[in-house]
């Protein structure tokens, strides 16, 4: 026996889908940037036309400000072997457009001095889930290219935790806190090759050189910033092939920042490479739920 779904039910389902997508879309703002209100998170993207990622981000249910200084998921330092390409990509000229599906595409054109064309695509995957795809096209050969993706959280987000390998055995993992006794600035590399990139001299280049302390290797490119009083938790993740290290200052250091080191490989002239990252905001997730967020995303890619 054939079951017919009433046309009104189909129309209602379609309208609900459109409404859901609309709630999770970026919208133009008057200053050349974009705004969003997903029902869970409210804020700005490229406020004032500057490439500083998400800013003025508020968790609506708790009225908590999430970001500080230079925003969440902003493209900061860009390196090739022996060269830093300006202070940060957030200073590069760029343009942005709103796509029909509500995503925002940002383009950083190449220049004669900077043979790198970069594109960033910001898209809401859910009311508290942001996806970012960074694409780079090499105008000339780029050795050990790196795009350092920065997130600066507000002062309540003191706890910084990284998913690292456990010495207990192969395939084992544990969440390691960035405690101050381990060092002021800490980096968790993917492998020995990643350590070689980190230590090739790029982090001694001005401005603001950093002396990174090498911590245990990554089990997964998965890290957490947590506000212990409210339980609000920012989960940051990237694809294993796209992220060669996670960096963070010690937990209570005043930047309250977390960084994803993306790419970390040679690109030939004309080659295009992509790196994917995700930001999820939850309240008081346990370790298993954090890992499940990563695995669910991994299965969907």
Predicted confidence pLDDT, tens digits, the chain (301 residues): 333 334 444 333 333 343 445 678 999 998 989 999 999 999 999 999 999 999 999 999 999 999 999 999 999 999 999 999 999 999 999 999 999 999 999 999 999 999 999 999 999 999 999 999 999 999 999 999 999 999 999 999 999 999 999 977 777 899 999 999 999 999 999 999 999 999 999 999 999 999 999 999 999 999 999 999 999 999 999 999 999 999 999 988 999 999 999 999 999 999 999 999 999 999 999 999 999 999 999 999 8
Considering the four listed CATH numbers 2.10.25, 2.70.98, 2.120.10, 2.60.40, the one that applies to the domain covering 74-300 is 2.70.98
DSSP string, 138-170: ESS-EEEEEEEEEEEB-TT--EEEEEEE-TTST
Q: 78 - beta bridge partners?
A: 147
Q: Would you give the end-to-end CA distance of the chain in angstroms?
A: 38
**What's the predicted TM-score (pTM) here?**
0.92
> Quick one: CA dihedral 205, 49, 74, 66, positive or negative?
positive
User: How far apart (Å, rounded) are the C-alpha atoms in residues 242 and 274?
Assistant: 7
Tell me the two tokens of residue 193: 């090759």
The ranges assigned to domains in the chain are 74-300
């Amino acid at each position: 026996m054939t079951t017919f779904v009433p046309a009104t039910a189909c129309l209602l389902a379609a309208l609900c889908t459109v409404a859901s997508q609309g709630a999770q879309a970026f919208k133009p703002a008057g200053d050349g940037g974009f705004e969003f209100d997903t029902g869970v998170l409210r804020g700005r993207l490229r406020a004032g036309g500057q490439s500083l990622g998400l800013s003025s981000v508020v968790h609506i249910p708790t009225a908590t400000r999430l970001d500080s200084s230079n925003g969440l998921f902003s493209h900061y330092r860009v390196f090739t072997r022996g060269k830093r390409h300006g202070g940060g990509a957030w200073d590069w000229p760029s343009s942005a457009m709103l796509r029909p599906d509500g995503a925002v595409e940002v383009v950083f054109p190449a220049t004669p001095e900077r043979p790198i064309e970069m594109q960033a695509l910001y898209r809401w995957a859910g009311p508290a889930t942001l996806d970012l795809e960074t694409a780079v096209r090499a105008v000339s050969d780029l050795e050990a290219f790196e795009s350092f993706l920065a997130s600066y959280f507000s002062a309540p987000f003191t706890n910084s935790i990284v998913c690292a390998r456990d010495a207990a055995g192969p395939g084992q993992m544990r969440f390691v806190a960035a405690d101050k006794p381990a060092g002021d600035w800490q980096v968790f590399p993917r492998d020995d090759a990643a350590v070689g990139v980190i230590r090739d001299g790029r982090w001694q280049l001005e401005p603001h050189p950093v002396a990174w302390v090498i911590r245990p290797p990554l089990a997964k490119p998965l890290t957490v910033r947590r506000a212990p009083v409210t339980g609000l938790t920012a989960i940051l993740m990237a694809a294993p092939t796209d992220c060669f290290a996670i960096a963070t200052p010690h937990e209570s250091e005043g930047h309250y920042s977390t960084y994803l080191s993306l790419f970390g490989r040679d690109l030939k002239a004309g080659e295009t490479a992509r790196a994917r990252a995700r930001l999820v905001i939850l309240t008081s997730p346990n370790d298993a739920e954090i890992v499940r967020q990563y695995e669910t995303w991994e299965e969907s890619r």
